Amino acid sequence: MVTDVVPELLENIQRDFNAAIRRSVKLQRIQEMIENGTATYKQANEYAIEVGEALARTFQVYIKSETLPDGKMYYNIAERVLNPTLRNNHIIVAQVSSQIQEQLNRSVGLGLRGIEPPVNQLRIDSIINRVVAEEEFDKVAWILQEPIVNFTQSVVDDTIKTNVEFQGESGLGPRIMRSAHGNPPCDWCRSMEGVYKYPDVPEGVYKRHDRCRCVVEYYPGDSEEIRRQNVWSKEWSGN
Ligand SMILES: [Zn+2]
């Protein structure tokens, strides 16, 4: 009888991942910033990278050709290991990002809740399909490294997109700023730099290649207009 490797594999991965998350000084620092209302999408992005790297590290430790049947990542193993772990990264990062979104909304007087994006199951499926395509897992082990970080970062970008579209459809004019980072940033990332106002937001603003550390930030809807209104209302009440 062939033993099912998944229960033990999953248990090891989840245990180590949870321990790494609990121990992370960076995550604690960002959590404090969220609690005192000073976090922005820069911190959401850092948070996602840290969570993504923590999961990638546990994959590196526990998922290897030598521990897999026939040295291959079978679909039924990939699916049962990657679905819960990647979905968990989505839940953690979507929650933090939407909390930050809500604070940004409040900072300009918008009483809107931060909205969490849905899980991007297509991206999870695509990682699963790539990793099962090779006969020997070690040849595709890299797919469970940087692409896992990239997937986790995309939850932040999806949160911005979801909230920008919601606010835009509600008649506000939310803005997004993308700044290139990296040394030096690639031509594509440089070309995507800028401030975009809904609905003139190219889809590429929310996309990133592996190892891309560009920061996409949300500028709360119509903040200038709201500021101007506040100035006016003060002037009016002063008269
Ligand atoms: Zn980039």
Q: How far apart are CA 221 and CA 105, in angstroms?
A: 8
Is residue 87 assigned to a domain? yes
Residue 234 has pLDDT above 90, yes or no: no
Strand order in the sheet with 215-219: 194-197, 175-179, 215-219
3 vs 84: which has the higher pLDDT: 84
Is residue 202 assigned to a domain? no
Residue 231 has pLDDT above 70, yes or no: no
192-223, pLDDT tens digit by residue? 999 999 999 999 999 999 999 999 999 864 54
pLDDT, position 220: 63
Of 208, 168, 198, 200, nearest to 45 by C-alpha is: 208
115-127, pLDDT tens digit by residue? 999 999 999 999 9
Residue 233 has pLDDT above 80, yes or no: no
Region 171-198: mean pLDDT is: 92
Q: How far apart are CA 113 and CA 98, in angstroms?
A: 8
> Which token pair is 33?
């910033």
Is residue 177 assigned to a domain? no
Q: How far is the CA of 207 from the centre of ligand 1 (A)?
A: 9
Percent of the chain at pLDDT > 90 equals 85
Q: HSE (CB half, 13 Å, CA atoms) of 78?
A: 22
Long-range contacts of 183-187 (CB under 8 A, 24+ apart): 185/214, 186/212
Q: How far is CA 186 from CA 54, 210, 211, in A?
A: 26, 12, 11
The model's pTM? 0.91
Q: How far is the CA of 214 from the centre of ligand 1 (A)?
A: 4
pLDDT, position 67: 92
- Where in the sequence is the domain holding 160, given as residue range(s)? 6-171
226 vs 67: which has the higher pLDDT: 67
Q: How far is the CA of 222 from the centre of ligand 1 (A)?
A: 27
Residues having C-beta closer than 5 Å to ion ligand 1: 189, 212, 214
H helix or E strand, kind and range, residue 195: strand 194-197
20-68, pLDDT tens digit by residue? 999 999 999 999 999 999 999 999 999 999 999 999 999 999 999 999 9
Q: How far apart are CA 50 and CA 234, in angstroms?
A: 44
Is residue 18 assigned to a domain? yes
Q: How far is the CA of 94 from the centre of ligand 1 (A)?
A: 21
Q: How far is the CA of 150 from the centre of ligand 1 (A)?
A: 11
Q: How far is the CA of 219 from the centre of ligand 1 (A)?
A: 19
Is residue 52 assigned to a domain? yes
Number of domains the chain contains: 1
Q: How far is the CA of 200 from the centre of ligand 1 (A)?
A: 20
Is residue 126 assigned to a domain? yes
pLDDT, position 109: 85
Q: How far is the CA of 144 from the centre of ligand 1 (A)?
A: 20
